[in-house]
Amino acid sequence: MINIPKKPAPTYLVTLGIPAAILFTIFSFRRIGFNLQDFRENLANRAIVTDPLFNPKWQWAWENTADALLETVQIAILASIVGCAVALPLAFYASRATNLNKYSYFLYKSFLNLVRTIPDLFWAMLFTVAVGIGPFAGVLALIMFSLAIMGKLLSETIDSIDPGPMEAAKATGASHNQSVFTSALPQVLPNYTAYFLYIFELCIRASVILGLVGAGGVGRIIETQRIFLRFDRISPIIVIILVVVILIEQFSVWIRRRII
Amino acid sequence: MKIPQQPLSQRVLKYSLTTLIIIGSLWSAAGLEITLERILDAPRQIGILVGAMFPLDLSQEAFDRIIPKVFESLFIAWAGTVIGAIFSFPVSFLAAQNVAVGIVSRTTKQILNAIRAFPELILAFVFLPITGLGPFTGTLAVGIHSIGTLGKLSSEVIEGIDEGPLEAIKSSGGSKLNELSFGVIPQVMPTITSYWLYRFEINLRASAVLGVVGAGGVGQELINQLRFRDFPRAGTVLICTIILVLTADTISAAIRNRIIKGKVVKS
């Protein structure tokens, strides 16, 4: 007779977790006021949005978005460059492989985690209050945004580097800092460049909506038209943005392929 | 001793990229009218704002307003993720090259790309006149965007499976449906579930922001307090959001870790 191995008993994660997740889902849907009946009735009014949305005013969009769109791209370029530059040393301090001091490692790691919990638009709101409405606030917000992502990605990459070269450098009499510079840094530089391009793409996408809270870029034009429900003006702007975003992403993918 | 040099083409690429980065940042800074003066003054201004937030507004009234909003963001993120998970799961099979026919897979992938291209916030204000102010609009926006992202990630997981088990099922007489349920799903389920949780973490941040356009959640509260210059209360909103996001991230990351790495067996 064939001995069929018994299926292992489900763990607590499954026996308790799945019912809990289902209950929480039902509870969430009730709390957000989900009601199929209302939804169907509301959907009957969709013409308010869809009619203007599918009758785009191209002429208007061409004449009014170019400047703001350029501003959006500039915000993303500046913020991703500065953010990633600041993140480079921070990532080395936030990695166990290169920071030997347990306490300072923990401090830098927590700082990066804290920055990461605050959403990009919250940063934008705070900076518009602090330094005034305009693209400068947007740049600062996206610096925090890219700094947090780069810090996390790069510090985790540094954690997993090959310790051999660092040991070799130390064996030849290099100090810890020298071994980091000569052996750890070159190992992660290709990843750093790839992450930078990825973050630049994220920044381009994020900078589109910064204007909704007054932090500059093409979002400020969307915001003024949104308030007046001019979806006939918004839809061409969105299409133009999408085309620009896709073009920039293609360019970034092309560079990434050249480097790696 | 002869030290090997980097090939010329690589050095040229390196220097031209460096120049590109420097020119790009200077051009952007000039275009945005960011002067050295403003940069040097920024830390002081940020300091004033942070200073104005302390001491935080810890009154009962503030918590009565803020806590429900913070939880509303949590509910939006969870419900949105569930919508995304339920709808993206079958779609991801249609988008996977090794499961669906070529043309089906290609069209589904393009549709998913198109959905993914719209940020949640833009979806939210497009839905707003139809479904009204409130958390339901936010959930819809988060959910639809999640279908796009989860569909793409899940289909890539399905494309990366080991074909061996499928062959074994086929050779023992299993149908196409048997192949999916015994060959594909057991292989991809852990990774896909962990992507769902990962998406939940991202959606939590997205849903916190949605209040800016009135689609529910804690963002509304933050923008209101900042507009009324009630900084201590804005500080409380911020701290509550941070606590929620950190807690949810920690729990979700622990579960993801357990799903991917499995139970630790003590021998």
* Residue A39 included in any domain: no
CATH architecture of the region B59-261: Orthogonal Bundle (1.10)
A144: domain CATH number?
1.10.3720.10
* Residue A211 included in any domain: yes
- Does B53 have pLDDT greater than 80? yes
Query: How many angstroms separate the Cα of A186 from the Cα of each of A191, A200, A235, B3, B160?
Result: 10, 21, 46, 17, 31
- Tell me the chain A residues in contact with residue B226 when contact means C-beta distances shorter than 8 Å: 125-126, 129
Cα–Cα dist B180/B99, whole Å: 9
pLDDT band with cut points at 50, 70 and 90 for residue A87:
very high
* Residue A40 included in any domain: no
**pLDDT computed for residue A40 by the predictor:** 79
Residues 6+ apart with CB under 8 A from B28: A73, A74, A75, A77, A78
How many domains does chain A fold into? Answer: 1
What does the domain layout of chain B look like in residue ranges? Answer: 59-261
- Indicate the average pLDDT of chain B: 87
* Residue A25 included in any domain: no
Query: How many angstroms separate the Cα of B230 from the Cα of each of B43, B225, B233?
Result: 21, 5, 6
Query: Which one, of A250, A131, A163, lies nearest residue A200 by Cα?
Result: A250
Contact B51, B222 (CB under 8 A): no
Rounded to an integer, what is the distance from CA A92 to the centroid of its chain? 21
Q: What is the mean pLDDT of residues A86-101?
A: 90
Query: How many angstroms separate the Cα of A114 from the Cα of each of A75, A149, B34, B150?
Result: 23, 11, 27, 26
B248 interfacial to chain A (CB closer than 8 Å): no
How do residues A2-58 score in pLDDT, each as one tens digit?
777 777 777 777 788 888 889 988 888 888 877 777 777 777 777 777 777 787 878
Residues 6+ apart with CB under 8 A from A174: A182
- Indicate the average pLDDT of chain A: 86
* Residue A215 included in any domain: yes
B66 interfacial to chain A (CB closer than 8 Å): no
Q: What is the mean pLDDT of residues A196-204?
A: 89
Q: Cβ contact (<8 Å) for A49 and B125?
A: no
Cα–Cα dist A229/A47, whole Å: 12
Cα–Cα dist B91/B163, whole Å: 20
**pLDDT computed for residue B9 by the predictor:** 78
- Does B44 have pLDDT greater than 90? no
Alpha-carbon distance B184 to nearest alpha carbon in chain A (angstroms): 19
Domain residues for the domain of A201 are: 61-161+188-259
pLDDT band with cut points at 50, 70 and 90 for residue A84:
very high
Taking the C-alpha atoms of B227, B229, B231 and B234 in order, what is their torsion angle to the nearest 10 degrees?
-20
Q: Cβ contact (<8 Å) for A122 and B27?
A: no
* Residue A50 included in any domain: no
**pLDDT computed for residue B201 by the predictor:** 92
Q: Which of A34, A130, A258 sits opposite B136 (nearest CB)?
A: A34
Burial code (b: 16+ CB inside 10 Å, e: under 16) for B233-262 equals: bbbbbbebbeebbeebbeebeebbebbeee
Residues 6+ apart with CB under 8 A from A17: B255
- The ipTM value here is 0.85
How do residues A116-134 score in pLDDT, each as one tens digit?
999 889 999 999 988 888 8
